[in-house]
């Protein structure tokens, strides 16, 4: 199939849309049955289509609709018709999707479509091309993935108003009034910054279901407000802070201060890498203090510090022992550990919990209290320790238990 040289045998199908000077139809290749779109206009009125063909012929970007070629045919009366062959995307436009979704899109989709459009704009601008008519009706959708389960992607379409940025012969201002940048509304210039402003207006359209300036009485009033007031489009209040900041960058009235498409691609609102890295960092956080992988990483890090000359203990047991009060590191055998817990108590008192029952003390009330399994006892500033094993002094076994007793202060 060779659309570019006009040797493709094709059949025109149903009408997909109509413009002021062109008709868009569905067409099929007679040999393969593949579908494509064809824009047709009288040859004498096809200058904009021919310009679109020459611009698109120099573009190769996944986020811009592909041009398949051109051909001149003749109608039943013998009048010449110019035909521009385009990639066919059956899902329609973002404006269609807004209507299907009940009047607005959720922010997840807005982020994705905004990112797609920015990639397309950045490619066009880097190629010296200004689209001049970015809006929801000129952004087509296609399914991502061969199984159709990968969601939708947006593609820039309809470059009928597009122009080369350095084309001094074609300086006519074009586009839809509600999406015009201030410098365009004043008739001064229409460069890449104007596409960025229009993208911001399109995001407002996706978020609210309508373009900016809908409160204006007519197009003339809207254009006057855009060009000669200090107003900017209203930023939807329900958007995230990232979305609001992104729109503020788009709606800078001075085109020299407005962010470029390249800068906006690095903004957190649309930059997938920033969002992905943020999710990764959240996932790397330990979900509890017992998460093995996390503490393994800490151990590795501490070992590196130790071998580099840091003053660290040689084992986890030694390090834990340094946290104990009143004695050397606790024994490593589980049955010898003393467990600590918190219960209601008077301010200034300290609590301990014993798991053996041979050691006792005298509390502030001069009452002997035996350390029973699971029992908490009060420990004042001065206590008298004694054991059930000896009437005169603490025996060697109980003295060792007392010295190894680990407790916490709760004040």
Tokens, residue 34: 């593949």
Q: Is residue 190 helix, strand or coil?
A: coil
Integer angstrom CA distances of residue 372 from 47, 215, 387: 98, 79, 13
Q: What gap in Å lies between CA 318 and CA 372, rounded to an integer?
A: 28
DSSP string, 230-265: S--PPPPTTS-HHHHHHHHHHT-SSTTTSPPHHHHT
Q: Are 372 and 353 in contact (CB under 8 A)?
A: no
DSSP string, 151-186: -EEEEE---TT-EETT-TT-----S-GGG--HHHHT
Kindly report the number of other CB atoms within 10 A of residue 123's CB atom: 18
**277 noted as active-site residue:** no
Residue of 156, 144, 73 whose CA lies nearest to 118 = 156
- Annotated ligand binding at 39? The verdict is yes
Integer angstrom CA distances of residue 285 from 288, 290, 291, 295, 363: 9, 12, 10, 11, 45
Q: What gap in Å lies between CA 381 and CA 311, rounded to an integer?
A: 33
Write b or e for each residue in 245-274: b if 16 or more Cβ atoms lie within 10 A of its Cβ, otherwise e: ebbebbbbbebeebbbbeebbebbbbbeee
Tokens, residue 55: 């611009």
Q: What gap in Å lies between CA 206 and CA 137, rounded to an integer?
A: 11
Tell me which of 116, 122, 133, 158 is the catalytic residue: 133
Integer angstrom CA distances of residue 108 from 113, 118, 203, 270, 328: 9, 16, 12, 10, 57
Which residues are catalytically annotated? Answer: 133
Residue list, annotated binding site: 39
Residue list, annotated binding site for ATP: 39
């Amino acid at each position: 199939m060779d659309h570019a040289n006009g040797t493709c045998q094709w059949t025109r199908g149903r009408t997909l849309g109509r413009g002021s000077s062109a008709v868009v139809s569905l067409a099929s290749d007679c040999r393969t049955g593949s579908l494509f779109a064809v824009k047709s206009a009288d040859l004498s009125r096809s200058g904009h289509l021919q310009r679109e063909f020459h611009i698109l012929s120099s573009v190769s970007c996944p986020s811009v609709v592909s041009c398949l070629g051109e051909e001149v045919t003749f109608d039943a009366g013998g009048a010449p018709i110019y035909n521009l062959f385009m990639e066919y995307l059956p899902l329609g436009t973002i404006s269609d999707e807004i209507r299907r979704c009940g009047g607005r899109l959720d922010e997840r989709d807005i982020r994705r479509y905004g990112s797609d459009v920015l990639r397309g704009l950045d490619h066009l601008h880097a190629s010296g091309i200004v689209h001049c008519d970015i809006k929801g009706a000129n952004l087509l959708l296609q399914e991502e993935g061969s199984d159709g389960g990968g969601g939708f992607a947006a593609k820039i379409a309809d470059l009928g108003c597009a122009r080369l940025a350095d084309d001094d012969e074609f300086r006519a201002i074009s586009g839809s009034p509600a999406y015009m940048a201030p410098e365009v509304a004043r008739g001064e210039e229409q460069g890449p910054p104007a596409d960025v402003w229009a993208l911001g207006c399109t995001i407002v359209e996706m978020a609210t279901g309508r373009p900016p300036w809908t409160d204006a009485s007519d197009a003339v009033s809207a254009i006057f407000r855009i060009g000669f007031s200090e107003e900017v489009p209203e930023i939807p209040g329900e958007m995230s802070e990232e979305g609001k900041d992104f729109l503020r960058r788009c709606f800078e009235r001075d085109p020299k201060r407005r962010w470029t498409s390249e800068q906006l691609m690095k903004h957190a609102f649309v930059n997938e890498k920033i969002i992905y890295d943020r999710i990764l960092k959240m996932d790397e956080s330990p979900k509890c203090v017992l998460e093995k992988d996390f503490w393994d990483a800490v151990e590795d890090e501490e070992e590196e510090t130790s071998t580099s000359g840091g003053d660290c203990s040689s084992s986890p047991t030694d390090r834990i022992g340094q946290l104990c009060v009143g004695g050397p590191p606790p024994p490593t055998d589980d049955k010898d550990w003393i467990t600590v817990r918190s219960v209601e108590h008077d301010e200034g008192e300290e609590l301990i919990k014993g798991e053996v029952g041979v050691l006792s003390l005298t509390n502030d009330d001069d009452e002997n209290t035996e350390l029973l399994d699971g029992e908490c006892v009060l420990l004042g500033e001065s206590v008298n320790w004694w054991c059930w094993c000896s009437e005169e002094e603490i025996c060697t076994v109980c003295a060792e238990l007392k010295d190894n007793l680990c407790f916490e202060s709760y004040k």
